[in-house]
Amino acid sequence: MADLARTKITLTQAVAAAEQAHAGGKAAKAELNDENGAVVYEVEVVADNRQVFDVKVDAVSGKVLSSQADRMDAGKEDRD
């Protein structure tokens, strides 16, 4: 479980940073996690073209650490 006391940015700020990484994208899900001792927000962003990205945002600096296409959720809305 991630240590909320170690965060310096809010969930709202993390979501904004993740959405900026994908212009026009909208956050669908976000959570705080402990990843190898670092506290990170993991934000799922759906881009304009409906491609889903997993964006990791440093919970201390607010910097986007990574952004990768989410193969697990790709096309999920079409299967529901």
**pLDDT, tens digit (0-9, with 9 covering 90-100), for 8-67:** 999 999 999 999 999 899 999 999 999 998 999 999 999 999 999 999 999 999 999 999
**The pTM is what?**
0.84
The pLDDT value given to residue 4: 77
Contacts with 37 (C-beta within 8 Å, 6 or more apart), sequence order: none
CB within 8 Å of 27: residues ≥ 6 apart: 15, 18, 19, 43, 44, 45, 46
Give 30: exposed, middle or buried? Use CB within 10 Å, 0-12, 13-18, 19+.
middle
Q: Which residues does 51 contact at the CB level (< 8 Å), separation at least 6?
A: 69, 74
